Structure 1
Amino acid sequence: MAVSLSKGQKVDLTKTNPGLTNVVVGLGWDTNKYDGGSDFDLDSSVFLLSESGKVSTEADFVFYNNPQGAGGAVVHTGDNRTGAGDGDDEQVKINLTAVPANVQRIAFTITIHEADSRNQNFGQVSNAYARIFNETTGEELIRYDLGEDFSIETAIVVGELYRHNGEWKFSAIGSGYQGGLAALATDFGLSIA
């Protein structure tokens, strides 16, 4: 049975699941009724962070246009442009044992594509969640439902996997940002042209 987390909680992933190597992080959301004339396109992105909390290179920013990072240990499975249907909208596969040692944290984010020009924000999004499941067995291990705490934000740091004493843990962060993906990328050490 999955461990259900609240904002700010942390939980062991590999210590409580010995032998776990391949996990999938599934991210999902629904959009509320909206008549602004533009479709919603939410995107998940992953930042592979060093001890400093920053990316080392642009290759450490994994998203639909750069779907692999960490030497292939982190794979974004593709962009869902509508969020339609049940289940995960986007997924990231991770081989925990193959993540290079310089990557200490893996941050998972959701942003709204062209949020400013489309006049969209996370106040119009509901049922956002992240879940981690065992890729081999399909067993859901961790689930974090973000709740409805957002209004004007256009980006969210959902949570992060991080190393602690040789094990992987997950932290439920749930921090909203204004400024969309550009603000997040700058905070994580990328320069946006």
Structure 2
Amino acid sequence: MAAINLQKGQKIDLTKGNPGLSKIQVGLGWDEVTKPKSGGLLGGLFGGTPAAIDCDASAIMLDANDKLTSKDRLVYFGNLQSADKSVKHSGDNLTGAGEGDDEQINVDLSQVPSGVQKIVFVVNIYDCLKRKQDFGHIANAFIRVVNPSNGQELCRFNLTENYAGKTSLVVAEVYRHTNEWKFAAIGEGTNDASLSELIRRYK
């Protein structure tokens, strides 16, 4: 079965249409827009190419009121798994180079605590203010959900919008609906300059 390509704002069932699905792998990827080569006008004036863009993917586990109730429920490069071990991060990718997923977050849906209603997936640019970087420097960003038991890609959301000037992205969310899990494509750019700023909206 071919993966479902989603548009911004679309939602799909994950578990209802995939009986037995209890674990998902959420892959996030992006490419850096080609930088000017050193030695040209910019290189001559400012001494070489700009710093590589370090995008960081994180998962925020929220309660029924969309609140982050514990720091252990924020999974990112500095905390690679939730305290209950239901959400695990693959680790930090510093450049976004290469094909495929740049960072992956694995979710054991059967182990997510009952008090967690939603898992929000976000991406922010590390040290963006100091490096003067934003998502206008990023292309081909996507999020996809894979069934790790057979490698089948269940859905994909390509972020085709222009996010120039934005420094963080609320990419998508996985959430409970009755006794099932659903996926929603969000694609909202924000001006939060760090992950700590971004999570303030969930406190």
TM-score range, shorter chain: over 0.9
Cα distance in structure 1, aligned partners of 2:79 and 2:153? 26
1:62 to 50, 75, 81: 75
Cα distance in structure 2, aligned partners of 1:72 and 1:182? 22
2:189 to 165, 176, 183: 176
Q: Which runs of at least 4 in structure 1 moved beyond 6 Å after TM superposition?
A: none
Task: Report if aligned partners of 1:5, 1:142 keep a CA contact under 8 Å in 2.
Answer: yes
Q: How far 1:33 sits from its partner (Å)?
A: 1.6
Q: How far 1:102 sits from its partner (Å)?
A: 0.4
Cα distance in structure 1, aligned partners of 2:192 and 2:87? 26
Structure-2 residue corresponding to 1:120: 133
Structure-2 residue corresponding to 1:10: 11
1:43-192 correspondence to structure 2 within 5 Å: 43-69=56-82, 71-180=84-193, 181-189=195-203
Structure-2 residue corresponding to 1:22: 23
Give the number of equivalent residue pairs. Answer: 189
Cα distance in structure 2, aligned partners of 1:156 and 1:139? 26
TM-score (norm 2): 0.91
- Name the amino acid aligned to 2:196: A
- Name the amino acid aligned to 1:186: R
TM-score (norm 1): 0.95
Cα distance in structure 2, aligned partners of 1:23 and 1:165? 19
| Structure with larger Rg | 2
- Name the amino acid aligned to 1:185: I
Gaps of 5+ in 2: 37-48
Of 29-38 and 100-109, deviating more is 29-38
